[in-house]
A and B are shown apart, each in its own frame.
Chain A
């Protein structure tokens, strides 16, 4: 197929040519960025979280008397353990993706912690005895807390637990002591210090920001005795078979209301809680998908409309070419090649525009650089779309009979 005659013909129809190229370029630019944003959200929604997400249900209990927590919590736990189908129970201060965050910054040496800007912010989780097993935390190194650790820990007046042992996630270990084992290491803040007795697989924080950040996993765990908990062990976690979760959760909530008439309960199945956390993100992703689909449809119809007009306008030309021996295939090929060139120009312009928009978004929003492979992928998609859209009009062109075409004008 000769390209030169096509270019010559396009030069004669400058305005429609420019319009098609512009439309494809705009579609390409918006599409690249929209798909990229969808991808970012999907990977955030799918962030792994090393607790037993599909076996957990939880009941929060607040408004009870802190002074009697030492006897209330063990009594509540015993009652929950008695519910048929419950495999493990524990009391804990907060859960990953629960929005209820307690953060504090720590450094790796005692003096640094005051004057070093490079302290690292962790989310603090306080575990009642047995909560590690109920959650299904996965130990990578070292040990979980023992009975003595639990007995020795409490809250004083400070917003930090009075204990000296801690479990940290793999991500914290890597950040604080890169390339070394974190076991036995100590981290500090002005008044408190904690020694790592175990490293666990990555657990998400109660609040996360962005995706792909190691800091989403900066979760640290501390033992907490029931009597010293000062109202901070408010959440009961129950582990059961996934099919039992709903029944177990209801029974547990009922039990806790009976035992604590002054308290207020709030229950949830953990996987629902996780879905809830990402609900905004999920609906944004779906909205973007919808925009992309409609946009592609509009662009495709635009190409169909313009090409149909083009074919209509050039019936005479086509008829003459057919009369002097061009086959149907030749005519089809002509329009397909023409569309291929137009899409190509649109894609090149569109990719440049896409990167421009991306740079702007990077400056003003929390968005990372568009990966290079969006270029060939979007090129292929738009080329494909163009070929598909041009098929109908091209077939109609190929069906122009040679004789009729030359006679009518």
Chain B
């Protein structure tokens, strides 16, 4: 009870003191708010960009890599593993079936022709993949379902489409069983997805297209789409005889392979299998290097630097700026407090304890912090509004969320309390007697 009353008293004293120096107080709050606004804005973007695209599943998803490049002509001069896989290797891994689930995929831009009379053709982002794609990545269906492994083998002309494409083509109705024309071939719709777009699009890295933003519109069976001559957006060749038409036999990498491995023992078993596979390929003369890699989803995103450097630099810059603002606040609070050493001396002489003086000054710092945090939140909203109006792929996703909102206040309060420590300590060190004598 007493504690509480004292706290109220400190608050009252602090408010009086802050009111006395309006300009100085405004400057402190403004500087702190600017620092916090900049930090929260950039942190929100960084968190958005480096977030987990599939939180419930990412720990079980793995990306295998092998190296079919000739020894004398490596994939990269810095020794990186090839990003993608050749068709032969991808199919070998898929058919081996050593993981709980496995899928291979490529991205493509495809022409979609509406069936209505007045509809104009347009291009849509698409994924060519295999049956396990949907259950592995927890893609949610609005209508219908994905295709089966048998559909993969029979080169079925079926497609799963995204909700937004279903709205555009069929007015949002259940379109399962309807036909759509893709790259001048007829495909039967067998499923419609609910809105789904993992950020970043981990499965599309190095396959061409965007890493953030809207998801793809069309998903087709890899073999079925290839039978129609639909080609991938990204292809890299490593030997003589590279061919655009016979991609399946060409010495080219153009597929990403993903595995679902439920636990650590499955991961280590797969590592052994992959190493074994590479050794075999060396023995067969297909590979010259037996090195392999198996990365978890989040590891893969980190390895490939999916977060733009600029986002990191901006965050670093914002923290530097916040530090300057905190130093600035320390200086100004200190200036204020030293100016009042007479007042402190009087209070001390009248019986205020050191801890009381300390509490009073910390209360003052805390008020500056809360005010700075509130104003900082306004600046952060302003900053994010600015970012939403920028051309970046992720722009439309930049919103302040509740944890960030709370974080703002924690940062503000922590910053101001740290800033208040030094002045408060100096204030409570003021001795009572000499101050009275000086007058």
- With both chains docked as a complex, state the minimum distance between the C-beta of A253 and any C-beta of chain B, in angstroms: 12
B244 within 8 Å of A (CB atoms): yes
Chain B residues in 8 Å Cβ range of A305: 24, 27, 331-332, 335
Binary interface encoding of chain B residues 308-334 relative to chain A, with 1 for a CB under 8 A from any of its CBs, else 0:
011011100110110111011011101
Verify if B239 is at the interface (C-beta below 8 Å from A): yes
Q: Nearest CB to that of A65 among chain B residues?
A: B184
The answer for the CA separation of A279 and B184 in the assembled complex, in Å, is 35
In contact, A264 and B242 (Cβ under 8 angstroms): no
| Residue pair B328, A63 in contact (C-beta under 8 Å) | no
User: What bracket does the count of chain A residues touching chain B fall in?
Assistant: 35 or more
* Contacts of A162-210 to chain B: CB distance below 8 A: 190-191
Q: Tell me the number of A-to-B contacts counted with CB atoms below 8 Å.
A: 139
Q: Is the CB of A279 within 8 A of B239?
A: no
Q: Shortest distance in angstroms between A316's beta carbon and chain B's nearest beta carbon?
A: 11
Contact: B314 with A29, CB < 8 Å? no
User: Contacts A114-B73, A309-B336: A190 and B239 contacting too (C-beta < 8 A)?
Assistant: yes
In chain B, positions 31-49 with a C-beta closer than 8 Å to chain A are: 31, 34-35, 38
CA distance A91 to B296 in the complex (A): 45
Known: A291-B38, A294-B34, A298-B31. A34 touches B391 (CB 8 A): no
On chain B, the residues within 8 Å of A157 by CB distance are 243-246
Given the contacts A15-B426, A22-B327, A157-B245, A190 and B321 also touching, CB distance less than 8 Å: no
Say how far B181's CB is from chain A's closest CB, in angstroms: 11
Complex contact B392–A23 (CB within 8 A)? no
Contacts of A119 in B (CB 8 A): 73
Q: Is B414 an interface residue (CB 8 A)?
A: no
Are the C-beta atoms of A117 and B72 separated by less than 8 Å?
A: yes
Pick from B31, B74, B121, B314: contact of A264, CB below 8 A.
Answer: B121
Contact of B314 among A63, A159, A284, A302 (CB under 8 A): A284
The residues of B with any CB-CB pair to A shorter than 8 Å are 24, 27, 31, 34-35, 38, 70, 72-74, 77, 111, 113, 120-123, 183-184, 235, 237, 239-246, 309-310, 312-314, 317-318, 320-321, 323-325, 327-328, 330-332, 334-336, 338-339, 390-392, 422, 426, 438-439
Can you name 29 A-B pairs with beta carbons within 8 Å? A15-B422, A16-B335, A20-B331, A23-B327, A26-B324, A30-B321, A34-B317, A63-B111, A114-B73, A117-B73, A155-B244, A157-B246, A190-B240, A191-B240, A264-B120, A264-B123, A283-B390, A287-B314, A291-B321, A294-B38, A294-B321, A299-B324, A302-B327, A305-B335, A306-B331, A309-B339, A313-B338, A365-B309, A409-B439
A interface residues (Cβ-Cβ under 8 A, vs B)? 15-16, 19-20, 22-23, 26-27, 29-30, 33-34, 37, 62-63, 114-117, 119, 155, 157-159, 190-191, 262-264, 276, 279-280, 283-284, 287-288, 291, 294-295, 298-299, 301-302, 305-306, 308-310, 312-313, 361, 365-366, 409
**Closest 5 CB pairs between A and B?**
A309-B335, A115-B72, A279-B391, A63-B111, A302-B328
Given contacts A283-B390, A291-B317, A298-B328, 18 further A-B contacts (CB under 8 A): A23-B327, A30-B324, A33-B317, A62-B123, A63-B121, A157-B245, A158-B244, A159-B235, A191-B241, A283-B391, A284-B310, A301-B27, A302-B332, A305-B24, A305-B331, A306-B331, A309-B339, A409-B438
